Amino acid sequence: MVFAGNIEKSGIVFGLMKDRVNVDGFKQELLASDFGLASLPEEIWRPQLEMPHSGLVSPVPVEPPEEMAMGE
Protein backbone atom coordinates (compact mmCIF):
# COMPACT_ATOMS: atom_id res chain seq x y z
CA MET A 1 0.00 0.00 0.00
CA VAL A 2 1.28 3.47 -0.85
CA PHE A 3 0.00 6.67 0.73
CA ALA A 4 0.54 9.93 -1.12
CA GLY A 5 -0.47 13.49 -0.32
CA ASN A 6 -2.40 13.52 2.95
CA ILE A 7 -0.79 10.67 4.90
CA GLU A 8 -1.97 11.51 8.43
CA LYS A 9 -4.09 8.34 8.66
CA SER A 10 -1.40 6.03 7.29
CA GLY A 11 -0.16 5.17 10.80
CA ILE A 12 -3.59 3.89 11.79
CA VAL A 13 -3.87 1.79 8.64
CA PHE A 14 -0.32 0.48 9.04
CA GLY A 15 -1.07 -0.52 12.64
CA LEU A 16 -4.15 -2.43 11.53
CA MET A 17 -2.11 -4.24 8.88
CA LYS A 18 0.78 -4.95 11.27
CA ASP A 19 -1.63 -6.39 13.86
CA ARG A 20 -3.43 -8.36 11.13
CA VAL A 21 -6.82 -6.92 12.15
CA ASN A 22 -9.81 -8.21 10.18
CA VAL A 23 -11.43 -5.00 8.88
CA ASP A 24 -14.43 -6.63 7.16
CA GLY A 25 -16.81 -5.11 9.70
CA PHE A 26 -15.62 -1.51 9.20
CA LYS A 27 -13.78 -1.30 5.87
CA GLN A 28 -16.13 1.41 4.54
CA GLU A 29 -15.15 3.62 7.49
CA LEU A 30 -11.48 3.27 6.47
CA LEU A 31 -12.29 5.06 3.22
CA ALA A 32 -14.27 7.92 4.77
CA SER A 33 -12.73 11.40 4.61
CA ASP A 34 -13.30 11.85 8.36
CA PHE A 35 -11.75 8.48 9.31
CA GLY A 36 -9.79 8.48 12.58
CA LEU A 37 -9.16 6.37 15.65
CA ALA A 38 -12.69 7.07 16.87
CA SER A 39 -13.99 5.36 13.71
CA LEU A 40 -12.54 2.03 14.80
CA PRO A 41 -14.55 -0.42 16.90
CA GLU A 42 -13.94 0.10 20.63
CA GLU A 43 -12.46 -3.38 21.11
CA ILE A 44 -9.58 -2.32 18.84
CA TRP A 45 -8.66 1.04 20.40
CA ARG A 46 -9.65 0.47 24.05
CA PRO A 47 -6.71 -1.88 24.95
CA GLN A 48 -4.27 0.78 23.72
CA LEU A 49 -5.56 3.24 26.36
CA GLU A 50 -5.56 0.96 29.39
CA MET A 51 -3.15 1.45 32.27
CA PRO A 52 -0.33 -1.02 32.87
CA HIS A 53 -1.35 -3.99 35.04
CA SER A 54 0.36 -2.52 38.09
CA GLY A 55 -1.80 0.58 37.77
CA LEU A 56 1.22 2.68 38.67
CA VAL A 57 2.96 5.08 36.37
CA SER A 58 6.57 5.89 37.15
CA PRO A 59 7.04 9.64 37.30
CA VAL A 60 10.01 11.10 35.51
CA PRO A 61 12.16 13.05 37.95
CA VAL A 62 12.35 16.72 37.09
CA GLU A 63 15.33 18.74 38.17
CA PRO A 64 14.61 22.25 39.47
CA PRO A 65 15.70 25.04 37.12
CA GLU A 66 18.96 26.81 37.84
CA GLU A 67 18.60 30.14 39.58
CA MET A 68 19.54 33.15 37.53
CA ALA A 69 20.93 36.33 39.00
CA MET A 70 19.74 39.65 37.64
CA GLY A 71 21.95 40.97 34.88
CA GLU A 72 22.98 37.58 33.50
Q: Is the pLDDT of residue 72 over 60?
A: no
At 19-41, the pLDDT tens digits run 898 999 888 888 888 888 888 88
Q: Is 20 left (phi over 0), alpha (psi -120 to 50) or beta?
A: left
Amino acid 34: pLDDT: 86
Higher pLDDT, 54 or 37: 37
Domain definitions of the chain by residue range: 25-49
Alpha-carbon span 32 to 28, nearest angstrom: 7
pTM value surpassing 0.75: no
Q: pLDDT category, 59, cuts 50, 70, 90?
A: low
